[in-house]
Amino acid sequence: MIPAAFEYYAPKSVPEALTLLDRYGDAAKVLAGGQSLLPMLKLRLAQLGHIVDISRIAGLDYIKEERGTVRIGAGTTETTLERSELIKTKLPILVDTTAFIGDPLVRNRATVGGNLAHGDPANDHPAAMLALGAEVVIKGSKGERTVPITQFFSGLFRTAVKPNELLMEVRIPVPPPRSGGAYVKLERKVGDFATAGVAVQVTLAASGAFERVGIGLTSAGPTPIKAAEAEKFLAGKQPDDATLQEAARLAAKATSPVADRRGEVDYKREMARVLTVRALRAAVARAGGR
């Protein structure tokens, strides 16, 4: 399969890329790792006049910790993320997540920024970033802004990044002591989109009760979903089985999956419930709780 013809640009700097995006607006699309965009172009699900390849811009690929925040450059590949000692130590939920993205060959090209900016509710990073309470940095020729991840996903394949802007960085608060997170996903085979996927990040109080809970859901509706009602329910409660079960019921209630070859609506909702229990248990265990 061959994509329809397009004009291709490989800017060497962010200002150069933004100039191109200002010029072509809606007719242009940013190419990073290309592991979602190129298949779409090949299948002719998308046809674009102009492609701005940002993979030649130096300095978009980094993972660092600064003043209690982990900063991940949008151009960081999934492989880099998967092998990062900082991520393994501070944010193991992201090691779980990246291991489910595509396959090892895809992860050598695919980027963290691309996984978010694609705006696909079946992508895996959105749920994890919702659970973690991340922020993203978006840049345009007029300046830079920071957007909480809860306001980032605006619709199917739509995000807060405007056609003439670039997603630059993801910022994640370093979890305090007694924190843990996990991402679990049901997939038919390696590299498949989630039938259901659940990300949970928790912080426990000294008593063992939930102090902070973040729950994000994959393939659960037109956008990645934050299970706010379940999060609220858990706050201050001990992580006993009945409590986790009730939270999972509330999380499943928040989903509106679509039926497809991966399953019917009821099945997907039930899988979201089951996976929420598992993700909660794993996150609590990693936080050092029961």
Q: What residue ranges bind other proteins (CB under 8 A)? A: 1-10, 34-35, 38-39, 41-43, 51, 53, 55, 79, 102-106, 108-109, 190-191
- Shortest distance (Å) from residue 18 CB to other proteins: 18
- Shortest distance (Å) from residue 10 CB to other proteins: 7
* Gap between the Cα atoms of 196 and 35, Å rounded: 21
Q: Which is nearer to other proteins, 16 or 270 (CB)?
A: 16
- Shortest distance (Å) from residue 275 CB to other proteins: 21
Question: What beta strand segments (E) does 5-103 contain?
Answer: 7-9, 28-31, 50-53, 63-66, 69-73
Q: For residue 239, what are its two tokens? A: 């992580």
* Gap between the Cα atoms of 200 and 284, Å rounded: 9
- Shortest distance (Å) from residue 260 CB to other proteins: 17
Q: Which is nearer to other proteins, 5 or 242 (CB)?
A: 5
* Gap between the Cα atoms of 265 and 252, Å rounded: 11
Q: Which is nearer to other proteins, 108 or 245 (CB)?
A: 108
Who contacts 241 (Cβ-Cβ below 8 Å, separation ≥6)?
A: none
Who contacts 206 (Cβ-Cβ below 8 Å, separation ≥6)?
A: 178
How many residues are present in the chain?
Answer: 290
- Report the amino acid identity of residue 284: V
Q: Which is nearer to other proteins, 163 or 191 (CB)?
A: 191
| Cβ burial 161-195 (10 Å sphere, 16+ → b, else e) | beebbbbbbbbbeebeeebbbbbbbbbeeeeebbb
- Shortest distance (Å) from residue 77 CB to other proteins: 9
- Shortest distance (Å) from residue 53 CB to other proteins: 7
From the CB of residue 233, how many other CB atoms can be counted at a distance below 10 Å? 18
Q: Which is nearer to other proteins, 110 or 134 (CB)?
A: 110
- Shortest distance (Å) from residue 213 CB to other proteins: 31
Q: Which is nearer to other proteins, 110 or 225 (CB)?
A: 110
* Gap between the Cα atoms of 252 and 279, Å rounded: 13
Q: Which is nearer to other proteins, 43 or 259 (CB)?
A: 43
- Report the amino acid identity of residue 277: V
- Report the amino acid identity of residue 254: A
The half-sphere exposure of 284 on its side-chain side, counting CA atoms within 13 A, is: 23
